[in-house]
Amino acid sequence: MNFLRNLLAAIIGCLIAFGIMFVMFFIFVSLFDTSEEAVVVKNNSVLELQLQLPISDYVGSAAADPFASLFEQSQGLDEILNAIAVAKDDEDIKGISINNNFILAGLAQTQAIRSALEDFKSEGKFIYTYSDFYLQKDYYLASIADSIFVNPVGALDFRGLSSEVLFFKDLQEKTGVKIEVIRHGKYKSAVEPFLSNEMSEANRTQIKELIGSLWNSMVDEIAEGRNLSVENLNSIADTLGGRTPEFAKSTGLIDGIVFHDQYEEKLKKALKVDADKDLNIVLLEDYVTKSNPKSKKSGSDKIAVIFAQGEIIYGEGGQDMIGQGIMNKAIRKARDNDKVKAIVLRVNSPGGSALTSDIIWREIELAKEKKPVIVSMGNVAASGGYYIAAGANKIFAEPTTVTGSIGVFGTIPNITELADDIGINAEQVGTNKNSVEYSLFEPMGDTFRSVVQEGIEETYDTFLERVAQGRGMSTEEINEIAQGRVWSGVDAKRIGLVDELGNLNDAIAEAAKMAELEDYGIRKYPKYKTGFERLIEDMGGVSTKAKNSFIEDEIGTEAYTILKQVKSAMDQKGIQARMPFVLEIK
């Protein structure tokens, strides 16, 4: 009897607890209501861009998610650009203040925001910017402003671009953990850090030319924004002429050296607000909520914008990973929807699984039979990222997009030396000559290596054929510019890998033109899980992002970067169409 009484009490207690949680859930939602009505924009306001979160091209259905502001760990570039476009025509918004340190975006994403700000200024509205410390990408964005200010004890980093590549050959020899490499393409250097202790001339050449092209694109725009010559800017970079606020002002990089309260006084003067009155500041994250329902495009006919962002893996995929599951569902939905008249594929990926890339490529080919498909390239659309783009009717890239890298490789971990050192001996038994395909504990055999090499060559030939077919060129012509080499958007247009230089809006406009549309709306794919759904999934344990953040905090950013690169190489399955190196531009 006591057992039944205790059981009943436990059941009732659980029901009461769940009931309380249910009520608290709705109270929680109401407290954090982010509806449009909750955001009030007063007359004579300034929109403030802080850009404190990492920027992704697309974060999914965050606008409809009441928990987005609590659980999202990134901002959507599409939402930022839309907010700036809406603010341009908003009579209550008189200007923009960029109050930012360390923008967490790629170069092409930064360029897209800069272009949107340039369009905002065309309405005669002002843009001011203030920072304690400008890194080069921050300054590149700031250079579109009418006036640039820096803290008196701050600094400005303007020295030209560089890239650092880590090499792990000695690490492998010391640990006994080796990465076996099979590749095609003389520039396919994603695996070079595991084969050598120094950079090859081919790799050095392509990195130097790539960052040189990216730097030229940045400097050209900065020169126009600051009314300085390209030669003068390069001289400033060579002499570190912006390293102190005084130097930066004397060379024309900035307009003023002020504290933040003095910067606010300048904003008040621009708005013609009395010094004793408060500024009407609207934060970007709040304005995004208000501007999301106010899409600049409307109409019964639609253009589908499908976002492919992250590494390419075999499987379902998600917000940060491109898998054939989620991507092909999105492409089919857009293809089979009669209201969708054209498709824009936004690619931001360094590549990954060659098999998945080909599966997605095929789905795009099927979509092309029914409606135009245009590609817009983001920060990077290389290797597998270029593979899935190659068949489009037309390809747009930003000048600072990193693309190309038409080449393939395979990496296979081997711990023979480590096993010998710690006393492990593995014995295999099989029914046929090649039934034991490969062992982590045995040196790679010639037969296995030749079979993998054969697969690499076949995949590379298929890659060439796909690109040649999509670009209307011969495989010989593509092979000359392939070999795993990466190119900037500017150079990719010159050699025929892309058709036009432009942003996502330019690609959408071209899609509308090809579909003969004047009035149209935008439909975005895919739809990701909301922040609350991801929270529920993670309640059983610590999320992957949380665990990774903990590890990085404990061992430091540099050690964590090395760990990620080694782990990525060991986790790769199948033949890879991936970026030829981990590109960290500084």
Q: Which residue numbers are catalytic? A: 188, 383
Q: What angle do CA 427, 431, 434 make, to 5 degrees?
A: 80
Distance CA 253, CA 226 (A): 7
Cβ-based neighbours of 371, under 8 Å, separated by 6 or more: 335, 340, 341, 342, 343, 515
Rounding to the nearest 10 degrees, give the CA dihedral for residues 398, 401, 406, 409. Answer: -150
Q: How far apart are the first and last CA of the chain?
A: 72
Distance CA 575, CA 383 (A): 12
Look up tokens 């080499």; give the residue: 485
Spatial CA neighbour of 82 closest among 128, 119, 46 = 119
Spatial CA neighbour of 471 closest among 506, 496, 437 = 496
Distance CA 463, CA 577 (A): 9
Cβ-based neighbours of 259, under 8 Å, separated by 6 or more: 151, 152
466 φ, ψ to 5°? -60, -45
Q: 303, 341 in Cβ contact below 8 A?
A: yes
Q: What angle do CA 390, 395, 398 make, to 5 degrees?
A: 120
Q: Would you call 419 helix, strand, or coil by DSSP?
A: helix
Spatial CA neighbour of 489 closest among 481, 498, 480 = 498
The region, left, alpha or beta by phi > 0 then psi within -120 to 50, assigned to residue 164 is beta
Q: Would you call 384 helix, strand, or coil by DSSP?
A: helix
Tell me how crowded residue 173 is: count the other CB atoms within 10 A of its CB. 12
Q: 175, 420 in Cβ contact below 8 A?
A: no
Cβ-based neighbours of 288, under 8 Å, separated by 6 or more: 63, 75, 79, 80, 82, 83
Distance CA 309, CA 319 (A): 7
Q: How many helices (H) and strands (E) does the chain have?
A: 22, 22
